Amino acid sequence: MNKVLKRIYKDKLSLSAVVVLLLLYLAIAFAPLIAPYPKDFSSRKLAYAPPSNIYVITPENRLSWPYTYNWVKTFDAKNLTTQFKQDRTQKYPLQLFKNGRLISVGDGGNLFLLGTDINGRDNFSRLLYGGQISLTIGFLALFISFPIGLMYGGISGYYGGAVDNVMMRVAEAIMSIPSFYLLIILAAILPSGMNAAERFALITVILAFIGWAGLARVVRGMVLSIKTQDYVKSAVAIGASRARIILKHILPQTSSYVIIAITLSVPGYILAESGLSFLGLGIQQPDASWGNMLKEAQEFTNIISRPWLLTPGFLIFIAVLSFNILGDTIRDVLDPKSAKN
């Protein structure tokens, strides 16, 4: 582990990835404190409001405490479009640590750091709450799929013969199922009356169900090699049980691969959940996830005139890229066959 930490510290790109991930997970962990608005905030009169402008210079060119103006929606009868203009008759100074929130504005004011969506909900707040789902679902799925994959692959490789043949055929059958299409089918048949927590749990189980087979196959190959080592034969000779040999002497030797697999698997789970939610088969409105938030940006007019709606896609890209960079670095350190190590 020290070797991995030293490598990450020396590699500026990997260190940057770690910092980005830490910032993201700290932000979602303290979402109720950082978010200017609660989960259920909505103002239909401010649908698609642009990001609030923060000023530190008054109209009289004097330095001031940061403040903002409210947006007022107007209708252009000539072009049949709605427009937002600032109401400069009233300033709303930013306030720190008021009502249990890091940043807010005075009574009657609105603060939309990343604009609002079609229902007038603050995008910045929803990004924080949505990240709690999008960034944690991968780890929850790993807690299910990796123990299954490790035990399944370990038993298959250690026993060999007919047991190995049958177990691997089952794993290969699961691996042959197109994972994304399976996710769509399973998510589509989920009961419509499920609440957000139940749907989140079932999607996690679905992701874990299709994720263990590949790990089991690799672990099985490693166990076939490890079980021929002298220390394993010695454990057999002194009468150690098969369960003890597998759990104490064989599976720990696969830890390097497991660590690498974890860091490289999390991005896949993040993308899977985001894809499902984007298609409307994952986390449902009004609950937020980065996937269903990004769905609103699929319209061309929104991409052109409301670019702040693309922020969830940018965060997905940053999170996945950071995990991949970190995973590549850990692989370079722990994989003995790595050319860089």
267: CATH: 1.10.3720.10
Q: Are 232 and 248 in contact (CB under 8 A)?
A: no
Predicted pLDDT at 315: 92
Does any domain span residue 294?
A: yes
Q: Are 289 and 134 in contact (CB under 8 A)?
A: yes
Examine the pLDDT at 340 and tell me if it is beyond 50.
Answer: no
CA 137/CA 28 separation, integer angstroms: 13
Q: Identify whether residues 89 and 159 lie together within a single domain.
A: no
Predicted pLDDT at 125: 93
Per the structure, the count of domains in the chain is 2
Q: Identify whether residues 139 and 255 lie together within a single domain.
A: yes
Range of the domain at 50: 45-120
Q: Are 27 and 134 in contact (CB under 8 A)?
A: no
Predicted pLDDT at 339: 47
Examine the pLDDT at 46 and tell me if it is beyond 50.
Answer: yes
Q: Identify whether residues 325 and 216 lie together within a single domain.
A: yes
Does any domain span residue 272?
A: yes
Predicted pLDDT at 287: 82
Band of pLDDT at residue 99, cut at 50, 70 and 90: confident
Examine the pLDDT at 311 and tell me if it is beyond 60.
Answer: yes
Predicted pLDDT at 27: 93
Residues 218-258 pLDDT 10s: 888 888 888 888 888 888 888 888 888 888 888 888 877 77
Examine the pLDDT at 337 and tell me if it is beyond 60.
Answer: no
Q: Identify whether residues 221 and 258 lie together within a single domain.
A: yes
- Enumerate residues 6+ apart whose C-beta is below 8 A from 22: none
Does any domain span residue 16?
A: no
How many residues appear in the chain? Answer: 341
Predicted pLDDT at 341: 44
Does any domain span residue 1?
A: no
Predicted pLDDT at 126: 92
Q: Identify whether residues 286 and 314 lie together within a single domain.
A: yes
Does any domain span residue 223?
A: yes
Examine the pLDDT at 335 and tell me if it is beyond 70.
Answer: no
pTM of the predicted model as reported, rounded to 2 decimal places: 0.81
Q: Identify whether residues 184 and 311 lie together within a single domain.
A: yes
Does any domain span residue 83?
A: yes
Q: Identify whether residues 157 and 296 lie together within a single domain.
A: yes
Domain boundary among 58, 86, 120: 120
Q: Identify whether residues 157 and 242 lie together within a single domain.
A: yes
Q: Identify whether residues 184 and 259 lie together within a single domain.
A: yes
Q: Identify whether residues 164 and 104 lie together within a single domain.
A: no
Q: Identify whether residues 301 and 195 lie together within a single domain.
A: yes
Task: Look at 231 and 191; give whichever has higher pLDDT.
Answer: 231
Integer distance in angstroms from the first to the last C-alpha of the chain? Answer: 14
Predicted pLDDT at 87: 87
Q: Identify whether residues 98 and 160 lie together within a single domain.
A: no
HEC per residue, the chain: CHHHHHHHHHCHHHHHHHHHHHHHHHHHHCHHHHCCCCCCCCCHHHCCCCCCCCEEECCCCCEEEEEEEEEEEEEECCCCEEEEEEEEEEEEEEEEEECCEEEEECCCCCCCCCCECCCCCEHHHHHHHHHHHHCCHHHHHHHHHHHHHHHHHHHHHHHCHHHHHHHHHHHHHHHCCCHHHHHHHHHHCCCCCCCHHHHHHHHHHHHHHCCHHHHHHHHHHHHHHHCCCHHHHHHHHCCCCHHHHHHHHHHHHHHHHHHHHHHHHHHHHHHHHHHHHHCCCCCCCCCCCHHHHHHHHHCHHHHHHCHHHHHHHHHHHHHHHHHHHHHHHHHHHHCCCCCCC
> Range with the lowest mean pLDDT among 28-42, 80-94, 110-124, 195-209?
195-209
- Whole-number mean pLDDT of the chain? 83
The pair of structure tokens assigned to 314 is 């940018």
Band of pLDDT at residue 1, cut at 50, 70 and 90: low
Predicted pLDDT at 272: 79
Task: Look at 154 and 281; give whichever has higher pLDDT.
Answer: 154
Domain boundary among 81, 97, 120: 120
CA 241/CA 158 separation, integer angstroms: 12
Task: Look at 335 and 121; give whichever has higher pLDDT.
Answer: 121
Does any domain span residue 28?
A: no
Comparing C-alpha atoms, which of 109, 70, 64, 107 is closest to residue 88? Answer: 70
Does any domain span residue 96?
A: yes
